[in-house]
A and B are shown apart, each in its own frame.
Chain A
Amino acid sequence: DGGITQSPKYLFRKEGQNVTLSCEQNLNHDAMYWYRQDPGQGLRLIYYSQIVNDFQKGDIAEGYSVSREKKESFPLTVTSAQKNPTAFYLCASSLSSGRVMETQYFGPGTRLLVL
């Protein structure tokens, strides 16, 4: 099946701990994205990548880091510098067609809770 997988489904973080959220896609999409969603709110962009070994900050990148070593994978690390990490994290991907963004498809999400 083609799609986007995220793991784990639930993640608990202790104070001062770094945690990494996994996102994998087998859609052969060039572009990948990470969003954060707080309760009752819309999605906000954390980081995005249009090509392997390249990524850009979104609107709320502070306290997060990413890597894009493979086309299929775009892991997100929530660092200890992120003071309010409790949220629902969504990964997405899309074909990248020049200057026009194609349809974005989303994974099932990871819920991060701070202990």
Chain B
Amino acid sequence: GIQVEQSPPDLILQEGANSTLRCNFSDSVNNLQWFHQNPWGQLINLFYIPSGTKQNGRLSATTVATERYSLLYISSSQTTDSGVYFCAVSPLGGQGAQKLVFGQGTRLTINP
């Protein structure tokens, strides 16, 4: 099945810094989502981005489907940005098109 690899696994930054999180996937996809899991376990949907670029405030994401990767940018980090960021994909076609496959996540810690 499709493989999803996220990097780096851990990232520790000072408040105000910028960061880039990467997601590589092994096959063509029809769905790619970025999530933030807060310390209480709640997953919040950040972007639905199978291709192209989107921005929402201090966060933006770019997916280059032909090269099978996606990037999540966080600018001017705040302590509330801490948590785990997950990339999840749904492969193109077949039974797998209706399922999300998650990466292992990037744990981001923002220190004041």
Q: Do A and B come from one complex?
A: yes
Give A contacts to B, CB under 8 Å: 31, 33, 35, 37, 41-45, 48, 50, 56, 58, 88, 90, 92, 96, 99-106, 108-109, 111
Query: Quick one: given A99-B30, A101-B30, are A108 and B42 in contact (CB under 8 Å)?
Result: yes
- A43 in complex: contacting residue of B90, B95, B102, CB < 8 Å: B102
- Contact: B86 with A43, CB < 8 Å? yes
Query: Quick one: given A58-B99, A106-B42, are A100 and B30 in contact (CB under 8 Å)?
Result: yes
- Contact: A42 with B86, CB < 8 Å? yes
With the chains together, A37 CA to B35 CA distance in Å? 14
| Shortest distance from the beta carbon of A68 to any chain B beta carbon, whole Å | 14
- Contact: A109 with B97, CB < 8 Å? no
What band does the interface of chain B fall in when counting residues whose beta carbon is under 8 Å from A? 20 to 34
Q: B31 on the interface (CB 8 Å rule)?
A: yes
Q: DSSP majority for the A interface?
A: strand
- Contact: A103 with B48, CB < 8 Å? yes
Query: Quick one: given A42-B103, A45-B99, A48-B98, are A100 and B41 in contact (CB under 8 Å)?
Result: no
- A101 in complex: contacting residue of B35, B42, B43, B97, CB < 8 Å: B97
- 16 CB contacts below 8 A, A to B, read A35-B102, A37-B41, A43-B86, A45-B101, A48-B98, A50-B98, A58-B99, A88-B41, A90-B41, A99-B93, A99-B97, A101-B98, A102-B31, A103-B45, A105-B45, A106-B43
A108 contacts which chain B residues (CB < 8 A)? 40-42
Q: Mark B26-55, 1 if CB is under 8 A from A, else 0.
A: 000011010100001111110010000000
| Shortest distance from the beta carbon of A3 to any chain B beta carbon, whole Å | 11
Q: B64 on the interface (CB 8 Å rule)?
A: no
B31 contacts which chain A residues (CB < 8 A)? 100-102
- A42 in complex: contacting residue of B44, B93, B105, CB < 8 Å: B105
B35 contacts which chain A residues (CB < 8 A)? 106
With the chains together, A37 CA to B48 CA distance in Å? 21
- Contact: B98 with A104, CB < 8 Å? no
A102 contacts which chain B residues (CB < 8 A)? 31, 48
